[in-house]
Structures are given as structure tokens and as C-alpha cells.
Amino acid sequence: MTTSNLFDHNAIRSQFPVLSQMLGDNPLCYLDTAATSQKPQMVLDAMTAYYQFDNANVHRAAHQLAARATIQYEKVRQQVQDFINSPSLQQVIFTHGTTESINMVAHGLMDTLSKDDIILVDGAAHHANIVPWQALAKRVGAKVVAIPLDANGRIDQTAYDELLLTQPKLVALAHVSNALGTVNPINAMVAKAKAIGALTLVDGAQAVAHLAVDVQTLDCDYYVFSGHKMYGPTGIGILYGKLAALNMLTPMLTGGEMIKTVSFDGTTYGELPNRLEAGTPAIAEVMGFGAAITFLNSLPQAQLRQHEQQLLRYLQQQLSQLGDITLYGVDGGKESHENIGSVAFNLANEHHQDVSILLDQQGIAIRSGHHCAMPLMQSLQIKGCCRASIGLYSNKQDIDRFISAMAQVKSILL
């Protein structure tokens, strides 16, 4: 494996203090970034600085602490706007994460969708992009239809085209599969859905840390993601939407920041983005999120993406060469150049949890289970699998340690 020498990867990795710890007698080898990424020191510092010096609510008081907090808070909104190329600040809504963002859209469309309307959902979607649509369908009498997958767990594009002929009112897709790391042809799929007049929502939780996202080019109605998947804190996420698409949403939460006037005769709601941001927000988390964006923007993106892709290919190759390994989300069980971030696999017929426990005993952190994608697991005819996922801090030594540990696991179990 060769990696680019155009940047100092060790210097980048050194900014993540958690990676220097020992787990018993073993140094931590963190290969679970798809679940949650680790945080650079500047993210931790930004959150601490807010609580130390500027702890006040935003948009409400006239004193200096509140003014500083509000300025910083809205500066982060500007950062997000630039990061995803949103046309305006009004279209960037702070939420507590991807799950809340999708729920806000599903709840908000209760007055838009009606009986017998069809909602198409990615058959490999995370549960957070399935269950809210089921709840909406139950309320209004609509129908959720899964987009079929092929044998490799990828969306069957022919089946998708056929389902669009049913004139769905909404299409919910994943930009990147959280379980398999497969990248959907999202631009083409959104364009096809828009051509028949469907609303479109894209779950970008697994994409934003690995791909450049331009919501104007993508042209979806809603794009959602979480800070903790892109080196920011937990508890903060984004709902982006086109202005018309956001304005059609009935607010899921009411009170506090989202009002314009209140009386016992009636209440009027404020304008975007306030209308969809009720209550005291996760202010410290927003500050940390802003620091994460600053951190990402400071790095050489092209070199990092090359590094990550080379590392992922190396991971796939080494697992394949280990033997008795089944890779999922790739054609014929071989290495794929169409995946990012994650490799899903199983060792022979061994239980995925047994594999992950034995790896953990060697300081290797991976994910095992159904990855909040039970329908996908059913399509692949498995109960679950292991997933090793990388981040911008991952290096060849991580992969070599993981493969060495997997060899030990194989010798124990087989």
C-alpha cells in the first residue's frame, strides 16, 4: 500500500487524544468511525471555552455573554451553509442529529401526505430512515414501499425505475450505506424522483465526512446529517431543506425560540430557521460542531480522500487474503472501488459478536450486529455482520494490527 506524502498524517492523527490510550496491555485501534468519529482537541477546546467564558442562552438576553454566544452560534450556521453550499442561512436547521432531522420531516409532512400516498424507502436504509416513515404512513394511511436490493445489498436501479412509475409522493434514500459503505448514485436517483414530482430526502450521515456535499447540485428537498459522524460532538445535527420544502413542514416542537407572537387567543410562528428550532438548543455542541468544520476545512481534502480510499482498498484486500472471509456490499465478495469508509464482513459461519469480543480483547474496536439495518441483513440472508470503519486518523498500522488480530481470532474459532 502506498499513501500520499503530500501531507503529514501523523500530525493529523496526533490531534485526537483518545487514540493515544491503552486498553489493558494493548494500544487502542479504533475502527468504528462509522458509528461515531473521534474528536480532535480543538473540538473539545471549543466546547470547554463556551462553558468557561460564554455560557449563556442565545438570541434572548442583551448582556455581553449572550451576545458573544449568539454571534458564535450563528457563525457556525454560516459555516454549515458554506460546507454544504446551501443557498441561504434560513435553510440550515440545527437539530440533535440525523434521527431527529428525519423525524422532523416525517412529522412535518402529516398535512401534506394523505391516504394511499406511496413513500419509497431505500431497502438498505438505517432504521432512522425507515421507522419515521412508517409512523407517518400509519397516521395518514399512506404506504411505505421498500426499494429492492440486488444480491450485493445495493439498490436495484431497474426496480427503482419501475417503482417511480407508481408516482410516489416521497423518496427517502441514503447517500452512503451505514452498514456496507456502498455509495448510491444519489444524483441520478434524486433527479429521477424529482422528474415525477416526488419530494426527496437524503440521509447523508455517512457521506459528509468522506465526500464533498453540494446540496444545490444534488437538488434534493431535504438533506440530513450528524455532527458526531464528522469529528464533531454528539447531540448536534443538521436538517437542510429547500425553502418551499421547509415551509411546508408543520413544526414537531413548539414554544420558545420558534414563536413570533403568543396569546391565549392564538400563536403565530416565526420565520425560518427559528420556526423549526424550538427551545434552548445544544449550544456547546454547536460550538464544537463549528470547530469540527474548521478542522476539516484546514486539511488537504484531496490527499485525505486518496489516503482513505487507499486504506479501505488495503483493508478489503488483507481481509480477503486472510481466507474464510465473506465481504458484503461488494461484487462477488471481492474488493470494491465503489465503497467508502466501511468494510462489512463475516468470518466463516462464526457469530459476529464472538469475533468482535475477541478483537476487543486485543484492543481492536469494531462494530458487530445488524447495524440498525435489519431489512438489509434480511436481504443479505444473514443475522448480522462485523464492520470495520476508518476515519481520517486511521493508518496502515491500524489495518495491520486488525488483520493480525483477526488471524488470532481465526485460529481460535476455526
Tally the C-alpha atoms within 13 A of residue 255's C-alpha that lie toward its C-beta. Answer: 3
Indicate whether 38 belongs to any domain: no
- Please count the helices (runs of H) and the strands (runs of E) in the chain: 14, 17
Q: What pLDDT score was predicted for residue 334?
A: 59
Do 285 and 311 fall into the same domain? no
Indicate whether 1 belongs to any domain: no
Q: Alpha helices, DSSP H only, in 64-146?
A: 64-84, 98-108, 131-140
Indicate whether 40 belongs to any domain: no
Q: What pLDDT score was predicted for residue 67?
A: 95
Residues 191-210 have a mean pLDDT of: 98
Do 176 and 272 fall into the same domain? yes
Instruction: Give yes or no for residue 4 having a pLDDT over 60.
Output: no
Q: What pLDDT score was predicted for residue 331?
A: 72
Residue 263, φ and ψ in degrees, nearest 5: -150, 170
Do 293 and 326 fall into the same domain? no
In angstroms and rounded to an integer, the radius of gyration of the C-alpha atoms of the chain is 22
Task: Give the Cα separation of 383 and 374 in Å (integer).
Answer: 8
Residue 142, classed as helix, strand or coil, is: coil
- Quote the cell numbers at residue 283: 449550544
Do 267 and 307 fall into the same domain? no
Q: What pLDDT score was predicted for residue 336?
A: 62
Give the DSSP H or E segment for 407. helix 396-413
Q: What pLDDT score was predicted for residue 407?
A: 98
Do 147 and 196 fall into the same domain? yes
* Sequence-separated (6 or more) residues with CB below 8 Å from residue 8: none
Instruction: Give yes or no for residue 333 having a pLDDT over 80.
Output: no
Instruction: Give yes or no for residue 330 having a pLDDT over 90.
Output: no
- Decide: 359 and 404 in contact? Cβ < 8 Å: no
Do 269 and 306 fall into the same domain? no
Do 370 and 269 fall into the same domain? no
CA dihedral over 390, 393, 398, 400, signed as positive or negative: positive
Q: Which domain holds residue 148?
A: 45-297
CATH number assigned to the domain comprising residue 23: 3.90.1150.10
The total of other beta-carbon atoms located within 10 Å of residue 181's CB is 27
| Average pLDDT across the chain, whole number | 95
Amino acid at 235: G
Instruction: Give yes or no for residue 127 having a pLDDT over 90.
Output: yes
Q: Alpha helices, DSSP H only, in 205-350?
A: 215-218, 243-247, 283-297, 301-322
Instruction: Give yes or no for residue 86 having a pLDDT over 90.
Output: yes
Indicate whether 248 belongs to any domain: yes
Q: What pLDDT score was predicted for residue 7?
A: 73
Residues 317-323 have a mean pLDDT of: 95
Share of the chain above pLDDT 70, in %: 97
- Which band of pLDDT confidence, cut at 50, 70 and 90, is reported for residue 3? very low
Q: Alpha helices, DSSP H only, in 331-373?
A: 352-360
pLDDT digits (tens, 9 = 90+) for 346-385: 999 999 999 999 999 999 999 999 999 999 999 999 999 9
Q: What pLDDT score was predicted for residue 56?
A: 96
pLDDT digits (tens, 9 = 90+) for 88-97: 999 999 999 9
Give the DSSP H or E segment for 260. strand 259-263
From 253, 276, 297, give the residue that closes a domain: 297
- Which band of pLDDT confidence, cut at 50, 70 and 90, is reported for residue 6? low
Do 84 and 137 fall into the same domain? yes
Do 85 and 23 fall into the same domain? no
Residues 111-138 have a mean pLDDT of: 98
Do 328 and 214 fall into the same domain? no
The total of other beta-carbon atoms located within 10 Å of residue 223's CB is 28
- Which band of pLDDT confidence, cut at 50, 70 and 90, is reported for residue 60? confident
CATH number assigned to the domain comprising residue 146: 3.40.640.10
Instruction: Give yes or no for residue 326 having a pLDDT over 60.
Output: yes
- Decide: 277 and 258 in contact? Cβ < 8 Å: yes
Residues 159-165 have a mean pLDDT of: 98
Task: Give the Cα separation of 307 and 365 in Å (integer).
Answer: 21
Roughly how many angstroms between the first and final C-alpha of the chain, as a whole number? Answer: 28
- Decide: 15 and 263 in contact? Cβ < 8 Å: no
Do 219 and 314 fall into the same domain? no
- Decide: 235 and 205 in contact? Cβ < 8 Å: no
- Residue 122 sits at the vertex; the CA angle it makes with 221 and 175, to the nearest 5 degrees, is 60
Do 250 and 307 fall into the same domain? no
Instruction: Give yes or no for residue 164 having a pLDDT over 90.
Output: yes
Q: Which residues are catalytic?
A: 372
- Quote the cell numbers at residue 255: 414554544
* Domain count along the chain: 2
Instruction: Give yes or no for residue 229 having a pLDDT over 70.
Output: yes
From 274, 297, 320, give the residue that closes a domain: 297
Residues 235-250 have a mean pLDDT of: 98
Instruction: Give yes or no for residue 332 having a pLDDT over 60.
Output: no
From 257, 279, 297, give the residue that closes a domain: 297
